[in-house]
Amino acid sequence: MGACGPYFGVSLFSGAGIGDTGWRAAGVPIIATCEIEPDRSALTQLNFPDASHFTSDVWSIRHEYCRMVRQRLREAHVDELFLVSCTAPCQGMSKSGQGTLLRNIREGKRPKLDPRNRLILPALDIIVDLRPRWVVFENVVEMRSTLIEDAQGQLRPILDIIRATLGEEYQGEAYDVEFADFGIPQRRMRLVTVFTRDVTAKHRLAQGVQLIPPRTHSATGQGGKHRWISVSQALADFPQLDSASHSAARCKSVPFHYVPVLDPKKYEWIRHTKPGSSAFDNQCINPECLYEGNATHGTKYEEGINRASRSTPLFCERCGALLPRPYTLESDGSKRIMSGFTSAYKRMAPDQPAPALTRNLSYPCSDNKIHPYQNRVLSLAEAMTLQTVAKYTYKWGPLDTAGKTSPVATDALIRLVIGESVPPAFFEQLGAHLQMLTNDGDLPDHISQSIQPKQLALL
């Protein structure tokens, strides 16, 4: 394969293939996927009909996976694989520092390690076998401080294991990436680790060229960058919805643009919540009082745990009227403030990107999930826009899972795979950047001007 392609990629822990649509848009078609969950794999197969798909545990299929990829490359008369994209599960990544874990081991307190973190080991087996030109790992930033047992049972930092397994042929760096910095209307901080064995790319890395594209946006828009895209800008063209009734909660002309209807009590809490604020901070609505000085919600440490305040007032401290704040009923019929953090029942700030979307994006009690102006949560259509899925051709049905056919994915599955996925717009930018670094010739001005003396040591 020459320096100008064709460029073929494969993905591991593919999910529903949402992130992989970005690679494809960048000119790196995905020829093989691996995903253990049948419902996610069904979506990937629907959207990548020409790829080879493995719906299985990566431990059990790694040799067959490599054989299939090599066969696909031979059929395409391509000598080598361009990319392996590895987005291993992140739920097991530890937020504890490496020092704490190592100290516990020295003291004989063997920590309980999440086995999902070791899924990187069979993935590395595949990478070493296929020897791609580029390897991209995407995960939570806690991956930097995560320890796992290597193949010999020794506890080591996961990034050290990656570096040692790939060997001296590969060089790379790990980057803390805020997706809003790349024109994505969502705050989503992730660790993107990129390795390459391409000679030209390694030379440019040594010169100070980053292996991820230059940031195009920033919070302030200074320094020649665009300002972050706010949630209000991103959702400006969507018809208005309201969660007070079934008729107002759905727009029949826009696919997936509907929201759950809220019970009157929750609707009242949300209706009085200001942009960027939580319903726990709502003030008195008694027209004869309208006191604005009631204590707001907060958290405090108790026994080493950050707990929501139990003393947040539910009744106006001046007139005694019930505040429009989340409450629950006791067995005797009395009301008490609901347990919840300051981000629960909270409206998004309209002038900022949306918060990171999760599988709970349709629940107002979840973290910062209420529409910035309207009395509702986000619709699935809006979530697809904020995750940049809507920018690409992506099908949600029909699905064939376990011998059963459904016309479209369930709302729960759509929420789940959006929360799990990488915004494809970032992978599209990254894919174009990797190809640019691979090719000989002068760098574009926007890359040359971004070169800084190396601040990160090679992994």
> Which pLDDT score is estimated for 453?
54
Contact yes or no for 68/92 (Cβ under 8 A): no
**How do residues 357-398 score in pLDDT, each as one tens digit?**
999 999 999 889 999 999 999 999 999 999 999 999 999 999
**How do residues 15-57 score in pLDDT, each as one tens digit?**
999 999 999 999 999 999 999 999 999 999 999 999 999 999 9
Top pLDDT among 411 and 89 is at: 411
CB atoms within 10 A of CB 432: 16
> Which pLDDT score is estimated for 31?
98
What is the four-CA torsion angle of 151, 456, 422, 22, rounded to 10 degrees?
Answer: -110
In this prediction, residue 93 has a pLDDT band, given cuts at 50, 70 and 90, of low
How many whole angstroms separate alpha carbon 415 and alpha carbon 359? 5
Would the pLDDT of 58 be above 50? yes
Q: Which residues contact 404 (CB under 8 A, 6 or more apart)?
A: none
How many whole angstroms separate alpha carbon 284 and alpha carbon 265? 16
> Which pLDDT score is estimated for 2?
39
> Which pLDDT score is estimated for 108?
54
CATH T-level topology, domain 9-227+421-448: Rossmann fold (3.40.50)
> Which pLDDT score is estimated for 107?
57
Give percent above pLDDT 90 in the chain: 76
Least confident of 276-285, 295-304, 337-346: 295-304
Residue spans of the domains in the chain: they are 9-227+421-448
3-state secondary structure of 455: coil
Q: How far is CA 142 from the centre of its chain?
A: 13
Q: Which residues contact 247 (CB under 8 A, 6 or more apart)?
A: none
Report the alpha-carbon angle 67-71-77, nearest 5. Answer: 145
> Which pLDDT score is estimated for 458?
40
3-state secondary structure of 25: helix
Mean of all residue pLDDT scores within the chain: 90
Q: What is the DSSP string of 350-412?
A: TTSPBPPP-TTTT-TTSBT-B-SSSSSB--HHHHHHHTTGGGS------EEETTEEESS--HH
In angstroms, the Cα distances linking 129 to 20, 33, 132, 245, 347 are 21, 16, 9, 56, 48
How many whole angstroms separate alpha carbon 88 and alpha carbon 140? 10
How many whole angstroms separate alpha carbon 200 and alpha carbon 443? 11
Q: Which residues contact 167 (CB under 8 A, 6 or more apart)?
A: none
> Which pLDDT score is estimated for 401?
77
> Which pLDDT score is estimated for 6?
83
Q: What is the mean pLDDT of residues 149-156?
A: 84
Q: What is the mean pLDDT of residues 221-245?
A: 97
Task: Return the closest-CA partner of residue 200 out of 456, 436, 6.
Answer: 436
- Please provide residue 329's backbone torsions phi and psi, each rounded to the nearest 5 degrees: -95, 135
> Which pLDDT score is estimated for 341?
77
**How do residues 328-337 score in pLDDT, each as one tens digit?**
999 999 999 9
Tokens standing for residue 62: 């790694």
Provide the residue count of the chain: 459
How many whole angstroms separate alpha carbon 235 and alpha carbon 372? 10
Contact yes or no for 316/272 (Cβ under 8 A): no
In this prediction, residue 152 has a pLDDT band, given cuts at 50, 70 and 90, of confident
